A and B are shown apart, each in its own frame.
Chain A
Amino acid sequence: MKFGVVTFPGSNCDHDCFTVARDILKQDAEFLWYKDRDLKGSDCIVLPGGFSYGDYLRCGAIARFAPIMEEVVKFAKKGGPIIGICNGFQILTEAGLLPGALLRNTSLKFICRDVHLKVENKKTRFTSAIKQNVIRVPIAHGEGRFFADPGVLERIEKEGCVAFRYARPDGTVDAAGNPNGSQNAIAGIVSFEGNVLGMMPHPERCSEALLGNTDGRGIFDSLLANFVN
């Protein structure tokens, strides 16, 4: 499987994602430059974390109009798998590839720590190989509070689009386990079509033993297990 990792001006997790794809998963990986319009034959697109365009105006608002995004949108419409992590999630909502939006954390603070995620739906192509019911994954964001209009939120819930919820270590979903005030403690969702995943936590930062935590690996393993060439 070939991973295409997009680099926008201000991306800072692109090398982490690239390293996971090439060195951990032992797959092909290629950087995709934001000004290009070529996905270089990628089978999966990764929109990495960072601060594209300095988070000016709104997080992801300007990146979504980068030339490469026209191709990413076409790729999504054809059913190609896309993962957006942190700023990548914000870009996907701004681009309309995922419903909802990400707002300032309720605390107004940038939060950088490990959180626990309840794996809400194990039937998605991004979660099917995750063995645990609760995984520990770091977050690092100031604007990760998920919001959607009531009707949209209801549809997200009804159609099983919630992949991950913030939770306590034992999997209890409540205000104490929700770091940023996200509606329904939503940490990650898949699109209604199921081929796009957006999540605020960083699985690429916890996918190898050297880093002390491999809980993020299951997301990438799921993607590989469900890949049909």
Chain B
Amino acid sequence: MYRAKINVTLKKSVMDPQGATVQHALESLGYTGVQNVRMGKYVELDVDSTDRARVEKQLNDMCGKLLSNPVIEKYHFDLEEVK
């Protein structure tokens, strides 16, 4: 079985007011030098398969179709084998 840890983030060209607000909050807490805060989504899921290549292909499909919207987001995932 494989465990996928998927990160979905807004593309650079997309303004992220939520990130800007969080950055502002961090600054007002006294954390200096904080820059470029971008909010995203984290999805974790397991796929019951022993074929790593197949799982990777499946995940790319899932991310392109549903988990991310390519108009505004990009994605990245890490795969690890779990017992």
Chain A residues within CB distance 8 Å of chain B: 57-58, 61-62, 65, 93-94, 99-101, 103-108, 147-150, 181
Number of contacts between A and B (CB, 8 Å)?
Answer: 36
| B66 adjacent to chain A (CB < 8 Å) | yes
The reply to whether A101 and B15 form a contact with Cβ atoms under 8 Å apart is no
Chain B residues within CB distance 8 Å of chain A: 13-15, 17-18, 21, 41, 66-67, 69, 71-72
The reply to whether A61 and B66 form a contact with Cβ atoms under 8 Å apart is yes
The reply to whether B67 and A149 form a contact with Cβ atoms under 8 Å apart is no
Instruction: Give the Cβ gap from A198 to chain B, nearest Cβ, in Å.
Output: 14
Which of chain B's residues have a CB closer than 8 A to the CB of A107? 17
Which of chain A's residues have a CB closer than 8 A to the CB of B67? 57
How far, in whole Å, are A58 and B70 apart by their CA atoms in the complex?
A: 12
Which of chain B's residues have a CB closer than 8 A to the CB of A58? 69
How far, in whole Å, are A103 and B13 apart by their CA atoms in the complex?
A: 13
Which of chain A's residues have a CB closer than 8 A to the CB of B21? 108
How far, in whole Å, are A150 and B13 apart by their CA atoms in the complex?
A: 9
How far, in whole Å, are A196 and B18 apart by their CA atoms in the complex?
A: 31
Known interface pairs A61-B66, A65-B66. Does A147 touch B17 (Cβ–Cβ under 8 Å)?
no
Of all chain B residues, the one with the shortest Cβ separation from A60 is B69
How far, in whole Å, are A101 and B71 apart by their CA atoms in the complex?
A: 7
Of all chain A residues, the one with the shortest Cβ separation from B71 is A101
The reply to whether B69 and A101 form a contact with Cβ atoms under 8 Å apart is yes
- Which 8 pairs of residues, A with B, have the shortest CB-CB distance? A101-B71, A101-B72, A106-B17, A108-B17, A58-B69, A101-B69, A147-B72, A147-B14
Contact of B14 among A61, A65, A103, A108 (CB under 8 A): A103
The reply to whether B66 and A57 form a contact with Cβ atoms under 8 Å apart is yes
The reply to whether B13 and A149 form a contact with Cβ atoms under 8 Å apart is yes
How far, in whole Å, are A99 and B72 apart by their CA atoms in the complex?
A: 11
Having A61-B69, A108-B21, A149-B13, one finds 4 other A-B pairs with CB under 8 Å, namely A57-B66, A103-B15, A147-B71, A181-B15
Which of chain B's residues have a CB closer than 8 A to the CB of A103? 14-15, 72
Which of chain A's residues have a CB closer than 8 A to the CB of B69? 58, 61, 94, 101
